[in-house]
Structure 1
Amino acid sequence: MATTNGITAYSVKTKTKNVPMIDPVIDIKSGRYIATGTDAAGNKMAAIMGKAAAEEHIANGNAKKGSGW
């Protein structure tokens, strides 16, 4: 789900894989790291990732910290 240049996720609405997420925010909910954002068409998307991937995306500037930190 995560690539070196940003966070990608599956778009349920368009049924396509590896869609880049625009302005992702990573929250911690129930011990899980969840990146939420939108795709280019404005559809809401979410991706669940591990702690290491979440911290890497925040350190690289690909995402912002949300609630739960």
Structure 2
Amino acid sequence: MANESGITAYSVKTKTKNVPMIDPVIDVKSGRYIASGKDAAGNKMSAIMSKATAEGHISSGAAKKGTGWS
């Protein structure tokens, strides 16, 4: 899910894989780490990831903490 430019996800609208997410925010909901953001065209995107991956993106500055973090 990750590359050197940040979080990538599948775009349901354009049916393409590994689309870079712009300004992702990682929320914790029901124990799951969910990154949500938009692609270059403004379409909403989401990606589910592990705690370690989420913390790595936040520490590198690729994403911001959202709601649900303790």
| TM-score normalized with structure 1 length | 0.97
Find out whether 1:68 has 2:68 as its counterpart.
Answer: yes
1:2 CA drift (Å): 1.6
**Paired position in structure 2 for 1:22:** 22
1:35 maps onto 2:19 in alignment? no
Aligned length: 69
**Which runs of 5 or more residues in structure 2 are unaligned?**
none
- Tell me the SS of whatever aligns to 1:47: strand
Secondary structure in 1 matching 2:13: coil
- d(CA) in 2 for partners of 1:32, 1:5: 23
Q: Structure 1 segments of 4 or more deviating over 6 A? A: none
TM-score by length of 2: 0.96
Gaps of 5+ in 1: none
Q: Give how far 1:48 is off.
A: 0.2
| Structure 1 vs Structure 2 CA RMSD | 0.6
Matches of 1:59 and 1:5, distance apart in 2: 14
